[in-house]
Amino acid sequence: MTTAAERPPVLFLSHGAPPLADDATWTSQLAGWSATMEKPKDILMISAHWENAPVSLSATHQKQELVYDFWGFPQHYYDVRYDAPMAPELADEVARLTGNHGHHVERDETRGLDHGAYVPLKEMFPDADVPVVQMSMPTLDPQGLFELGQSLAPLRDRGTMIIGSGFTTHNLRWFNPAGGPDTTPPAASSEFDHWAEEAMARGDVDSILDFLHKAPAAREAHPRSEHWAPLYVALGAAYASGGIEAKTAIDGFWFGLSKRSWSLT
C-alpha cells in the first residue's frame, strides 16, 4: 500500500487524434508531464471512446489488437503498436470495488485499447511497460460517473493511476486542417477553456457536473458530452481520496480545440 504522499495523481488529459504523434509541441508536453511523476504500478484508463453498459473492462487474458477507431487517415496511423502488459489483478480490483457500489461488471476479452488510451500513453509511457486496463463509461450522466469515480478511489492506495481521457473542448466543426495546429481558436473554445480552468482551480465540482448550465458556450464546446465525461470519473476518484487540488499540466489549443489537461492530487 502507498502512503498519501506516494499515491499516483488522478489525471484528466485531452488525448488528441492519431496525428497528435506528429505534433512536436504536444508530444513533448505529454512526455514532460509524465517525467514529473513516479511510474505507477498500473493504469486504469477511462476513454471518451468507449461507452458501454454495464461497466466493461478490456482484455486481461490474451492480448488484443489496438482499436483503430478512426477512418480516412494515412496507413501509418494504423500501423501503430502499444503492447502494454495486461492488468488482470487491477481488473479484479475494479470489478470488486464497483461491484460493491452496485455495478455489474463485464469482461470484454475481445477488446484492446482505443485511440483515447494508446495515443497519449504512447507519448507518456513510451516503453509500454506499465500494465493497462480500460474501463467503459456506462452512462454520460455526470452524477453517475462521479459516483463511479468515487468507488474507484481506493485504487490509488495500491499504486494505480486513474486517467480520464477526453478533450476539454470538442467540436469537430471547428477542426480545420488548413489552418494548422496553432490556429487561433474560436471564441467559444477560448471562453469554455477559461471557465474550465477557473472552475477546476476552485475545485467547484457542482459547476463542473452542471457545466451545460454553468459554462459559457457549453453546447458549442461539447455538442455531445462524451469527451468531457471522463473528467467526472477523475473528479470522483480524487474527491473521495482526500479532496480536489487541480493543477493544469498542459494548456493551449490544437486546431482550435482546448488541450487543457489536469493533475488531481
> How does DSSP assign 197-210, residue by residue?
HHHHHHT-HHHHHT
Residue 5 lies in a domain: no
Looking at residues 49-60, what average pLDDT do you find? 98
DSSP helix/strand/coil, 222 = coil
The yes-or-no verdict on residue 49 having pLDDT over 90 is: yes
User: Residue 211 in contact with residue 228, Cβ under 8 Å?
Assistant: yes
User: Residue 61 in contact with residue 88, Cβ under 8 Å?
Assistant: yes
Residue 162 lies in a domain: yes
Q: Which of 252, 246, 235 is nearest to 193 (CA)?
A: 252
Q: Which of 208, 176, 172 is nearest to 192 (CA)?
A: 208
Predicted confidence band of residue 145 (pLDDT cuts 50, 70, 90): very high
Expressed in percent and rounded to 5, the helix, strand and coil fractions of the chain are: 40, 20, 40
Per residue in 243-252, pLDDT (tens digit) is 899 999 999 9
Q: How far is residue 74's CA from residue 239's CA, in Å, rounded to a whole number?
A: 41
The yes-or-no verdict on residue 228 having pLDDT over 90 is: yes
Alpha-carbon torsion, ordered 123, 124, 125, 127, to 10 deg: 30
The yes-or-no verdict on residue 61 having pLDDT over 80 is: yes
Which domain range does residue 240 map to? 10-264
Q: What per-residue confidence (pLDDT) applies to 157?
A: 97
Per residue in 36-45, pLDDT (tens digit) is 999 999 999 9
Task: Tell if the pTM clears 0.95, that is, is over it.
Answer: yes
Q: What per-residue confidence (pLDDT) applies to 242?
A: 85
Looking at residues 147-156, what average pLDDT do you find? 98
The yes-or-no verdict on residue 5 having pLDDT over 80 is: no
What nine digits make up the cell of 174? 471547428
Q: How far is CA 108 from CA 129, 181, 218, 260, in A?
A: 22, 36, 33, 31
Looking at residues 1-12, what average pLDDT do you find? 84
Per residue in 66-104, pLDDT (tens digit) is 999 998 999 999 999 999 999 999 999 999 999 999 999
What's the CATH number where 29 sits? Answer: 3.40.830.10
Q: What per-residue confidence (pLDDT) applies to 162?
A: 98
Looking at residues 167-182, what average pLDDT do you find? 91
Q: How far is residue 46's CA from residue 158's CA, in Å, rounded to a whole number?
A: 18
Q: How far is residue 196's CA from residue 180's CA, in Å, rounded to a whole number?
A: 24
Q: What per-residue confidence (pLDDT) applies to 177?
A: 82
Per residue in 181-219, pLDDT (tens digit) is 999 999 999 999 999 999 999 999 999 999 999 999 999
User: Residue 233 in contact with residue 46, Cβ under 8 Å?
Assistant: yes
The yes-or-no verdict on residue 60 having pLDDT over 90 is: yes
Q: How far is residue 256's CA from residue 181's CA, in Å, rounded to a whole number?
A: 7
Residue 19 lies in a domain: yes
Predicted confidence band of residue 175 (pLDDT cuts 50, 70, 90): confident
User: Residue 44 in contact with residue 91, Cβ under 8 Å?
Assistant: no
Q: What per-residue confidence (pLDDT) applies to 6?
A: 84
User: Residue 31 in contact with residue 74, Cβ under 8 Å?
Assistant: no
Q: Which of 261, 237, 255 is nearest to 44 (CA)?
A: 237
Q: What per-residue confidence (pLDDT) applies to 176?
A: 83
Q: Which residues contact 198 (CB under 8 A, 6 or more apart)?
A: none
Residue 1 lies in a domain: no
Task: Give me the number of domains the chain comprises.
Answer: 1
User: Residue 125 in contact with residue 35, Cβ under 8 Å?
Assistant: no
Looking at residues 121-142, what average pLDDT do you find? 98
User: Residue 55 in contact with residue 106, Cβ under 8 Å?
Assistant: yes
Residue 116 lies in a domain: yes
Q: How far is residue 40's CA from residue 130's CA, in Å, rounded to a whole number?
A: 7
Q: How far is residue 122's CA from residue 124's CA, in Å, rounded to a whole number?
A: 6
Q: How far is residue 233's CA from residue 146's CA, in Å, rounded to a whole number?
A: 5
